[in-house]
Amino acid sequence: MAEDKERKVKPDGIVVCDACPVLCRIREGRAGACDRYANRDGRLTRVDPVTMIHKTLSDEGEVVPFLSDARDWDGDILPRGETFLTGIGSGTTYPDYKPAPFIVSSRHNGIDMVTVVTEGIFSYCGLKVKIDTDRYIGPERASVLCDGEQVGHVTTAEYGSQMLALGGVRHLTGGSKKEGNVTCQMMLSLCNKQPAELQVEGGAKMLLQAGRPPRIDDVMEERMRVGCGSATIGMFAQQWFGHADEVIVVDDHITGVLSEHQAGKFLDMKPTGIRVRGRKSTPGRYFQVAGHGTGWGGTDVTDPLTIIDSIDGQVAWPGLRLLMVSTTGEDAEFYVLDEDCKPVKAPMPADLTVVVDRIGENCEPALTSVLFMAGAGGSLRAGVTENPVGLTRSVRDALTRVTCGGAPVYVWPGGGITIMADVMRMPDNAFGYVPTPALVGPIEFTMRREDYQALGGYMKSVRDFDEATQSVSKRLTEWSPDNPWPFDPRKKGSH
């Protein structure tokens, strides 16, 4: 097992677990409330194996494919290469006065390194969720519900994506017991790359899963928009020129009109007299042409002609060719003006079909991205050093690298150690929970041995990698080449 702790067994065979503030009383053969610790023969035992990531090298020193299946590894001699011990399955530092479960030394490119490994109990943590869609999911600041409990809110939309802020200490501990438990389980599912069903109050129902397309109101999203309506005009104006006299790109934020747009002026396109609804910004750019919705370009439009306010017959002409298209190319119609300068639907010309398809080709696949965000506070820092501010300063000075399950993190500027990590870059099932409620997540601090000593680290607790991991249950997983190797030098400006 990843961690065994001797405990005085009570007469009834119960062992008290001190791995978190709940202090479960665990009977022989049973596990605690979190399913992470069990009573095995009177010993408090970490149930899950500690996870190590491995970079396999050939005899020539090149990175080569890992074992065909990590389960083939017998837990003894590692393949040639480098191994990094993660916090997954390592155990925690609660109570705060104890050194971290693993403080291991290793040698990398002739440099003595130390990695402090633990599982943090995070009450102060949340998720930032990016949903690639133009569909309207609800008003900004609207509550996000899970099982009827508020677990977050809709926050500022970003280019081509809707954004959610989920979890956080106020939902975990500041509301009812049910709210805290529902929030914790929702976060656990999303962090472990599992699906979660959410409902925006007054808005959309969503099924979200990291690395998968979002399902919104039972519709699976396929494309992230290529850009706003104005940007789409700018990208494809040259390709529309000569095949259409006017192009209107419908978008919830900025609808573009080609003949008025600077791109159309550059091509010397004639004015068409077609005026769209909404508030005019700069030439060829219109705000608020329609309401929010799940129609064309994230609006409530199902018939694109409804956004046309007027057509000036003194400027327009019979036979004028009008293309209306959305920012993903999923919706498109072609019209020709009749003798009364009224648009009549017509078959889409082949040349325009090519460009509409190209809009879709330039749209990236719609995905859900989940970023775990947390503050590494006292219990983590006190497990690293007797003087916690030393660790904070070392991280800020880029002497200490922070990782989560071996994956890179972004360290926010300002005070404290506030980190953010993409769960898709972490090993599977990297997170657990405790019923306080709080999430349990892996975190590692890697630095030169001399820097660890300088920040007041627990030098007496430093053990050689092989010695520290010899008697624990281990799981080996493949290093992702998309991640920097935790021991490699950082590039300037990175964390």
Are 50 and 472 a contacting pair, CB within 8 Å?
yes
How confident is the model at residue 10, as a pLDDT?
A: 56
- Shared domain for 349 and 237, answered yes or no, is yes
15 within a domain of the structure (yes/no)? no
pLDDT of residue 42: 84
Residue 153 lies in a domain: yes
Q: Does residue 424 sit in the same domain as residue 330?
A: no
Is residue 311, in this structure, part of any structural domain at all? yes
Q: Which two tokens stand for residue 9?
A: 């067994």
**Same domain for 327 and 297:** yes
Question: Does residue 198 belong to any structural domain of this protein?
Answer: yes
Residues 117 and 131 in one domain: no
Judgement on whether residues 291 and 333 belong to the same structural domain of the protein: yes
Using CA atoms, how far apart are residues 85 and 101, in angstroms rounded to an integer?
12
Peptide bond into 437 cis (omega under 30): yes
**Final residue of a structural domain among 328, 361, 394:** 361
Q: In terms of domains, do 196 and 247 share one?
A: no
Regarding whether 326 and 389 lie in a shared domain, the answer is: no
Domain presence at residue 67: yes
pLDDT at position 1, please?
41
**Is there a single domain that holds both residue 425 and residue 387?**
yes
Cβ burial of 423 (10 Å; 0-12, 13-18, 19+) is buried
Is residue 494 one of the residues assigned to a domain? no
Final residue of a domain: which of 188, 222, 256?
Answer: 222
334 shares its domain with 382: no
pLDDT at 68: 45
Which residues on adjacent β-strands are paired with residue 298? Answer: none
Burial class (CB in 10 A: 0-12, 13-18, 19+), 479: buried
In the predicted model, residues of the chain with pLDDT beneath 70 are 1-11, 57-80, 490-495
381 and 473 in a single domain? The answer is yes
pLDDT single digits (tens) 289-328: 999 999 999 999 999 999 999 999 999 999 999 999 999 9
Q: Which of 196, 222, 248 lies at the terminal end of a domain, its last residue?
A: 222
Residue 69's pLDDT is 47
Structure tokens at 485: 């190797």
**Distances 136 to 142, 216, 253, 384, 385 between C-alpha atoms, Å:** 12, 9, 11, 45, 48
- For residue 145, what is the domain's CATH number? 2.40.30
Going through 331-450 in order, the beta strands assigned E by DSSP cover: 332-337, 343-346, 368-375, 401-404, 407-408, 410-411, 418-422, 432-434, 438-448
Strand-pairing partners, residue 257, are 248
pLDDT at 92: 86
Q: Is 233 found in the same domain as 347?
A: yes
Q: What does the DSSP assignment read for 176-233?
A: -HHHHHHHHHHHHHHHTT--EEEEETTS-EEEE-TTS--EETTEE--B--SS-HHHHH
Cα atoms found within 13 Å of the Cα of residue 409, Cβ hemisphere only: 28
Q: How far is it, in rounded angstroms, from Cα 296 to Cα 214?
A: 18
Pick from 380, 392, 378, 369: which is nearest to 442 by CA? 380
* pLDDT, tens digit (0-9, with 9 covering 90-100), for 414-461: 999 999 999 999 999 999 999 889 999 999 999 999 999 999 999 999
Would 9 be classed as within a structural domain? no
Using CB atoms within 10 A of its CB, is residue 396 exposed (0-12), middle (13-18) or buried (19+)?
Answer: middle
Give the contacts of 448 (CB within 8 A, at least 6 positions apart): 111, 112, 113, 114, 399
The residue whose two tokens read 């904070």 is: 392
Instruction: Clarify whether residues 242 and 179 are in a common domain.
Output: no
Supply the range of the domain harboring residue 177. Answer: 125-222
0.75 cut: is pTM over it?
yes
pLDDT at 97: 78
Residue 208 covered by a domain: yes
How many domains, in total, are found in the chain? 3
